[in-house]
Amino acid sequence: MAANERYTVPSGATGDDRAALDLEIVREVLAGRNERFRELVDRYQNMVAGIAWRSGCRREDVEDVVSEVLLKVYRNLHQYRPDHQFSTWLYKLAANHVVDRSRRMKKERGRTEMPEQVEDKSPGADDAMEVDERHVLVREALRYVDVRYREVLHLVYVEGLKVDETARILGTPEGTVKTRLMRGREALKKVLMRRNPEHFPA
């Protein structure tokens, strides 16, 4: 699974359908049908990878983060309450795990800031980097955007979710998501123009 692979939802399924199936799977896992947890892994591993990738995890660490988060989900599944959608609970658990992991790694390495993207020096890398350069610049610029806007920008434009799906995951009204998208795009544009005027002129 690629670190920047998009989280995709089953075609034809509505948000209510997905939430109902999530709840069914959770209840069956808790009842002893542990093999059904694999379905939750298949449904949400890309979303967890996206959270890790957006938060600055190195490409080679993303798979480990996904495994850690899903193991934590399995061990804490009994704490889930259906007052909120499973996707919202998992998203917050994953985001908190990534933040805690980042803090722990910084302490262990004696660093004060997240490492920047490592440049790929392998043969042919220059061509690939040239094609993806603007994408990389946008991703890096997202780190300088307010977290409220960064979340919705990532979910909509990086993971390809719709506004209503993003609203359900974050537990916020659709109108709030739309407002944050609008303000987030403007904030991101300013960051890109300030940091990379040669690629994003005024």
Stretch 62-67: mean pLDDT, rounded? 90
CATH architecture of 12-111: Orthogonal Bundle (1.10)
Q: Is the pLDDT of residue 173 over 90?
A: no
Stretch 177-192: mean pLDDT, rounded? 89
Highest-scoring range by mean pLDDT, 2-6, 92-96, 141-145, 147-151: 92-96
For the stretch 87-111, pLDDT in tens is 889 988 988 888 888 777 766 654 3
Stretch 170-174: mean pLDDT, rounded? 80
Listed residue (158, 181, 161) closest to 169, CA to CA? 161
Please give the structure tokens belonging to residue 201: 């002129």
Query: Between 1 and 17, where is the model more confident?
Result: 17
Listed residue (93, 4, 102) closest to 54, CA to CA? 4
The domains of the chain are located at 12-111, 125-202
CATH architecture of 125-202: Orthogonal Bundle (1.10)
Give dist(CA 65, CA 146) in Å, integer: 23
Q: Do domains 12-111 and 125-202 have the same CATH topology?
A: no
pLDDT of amino acid 71? 92
Contact status, residue 195 vs residue 201, Cβ threshold 8 Å:
no
pLDDT of amino acid 73? 94
Query: Between 63 and 2, where is the model more confident?
Result: 63
Percentage of the chain modeled with pLDDT above 70: 75
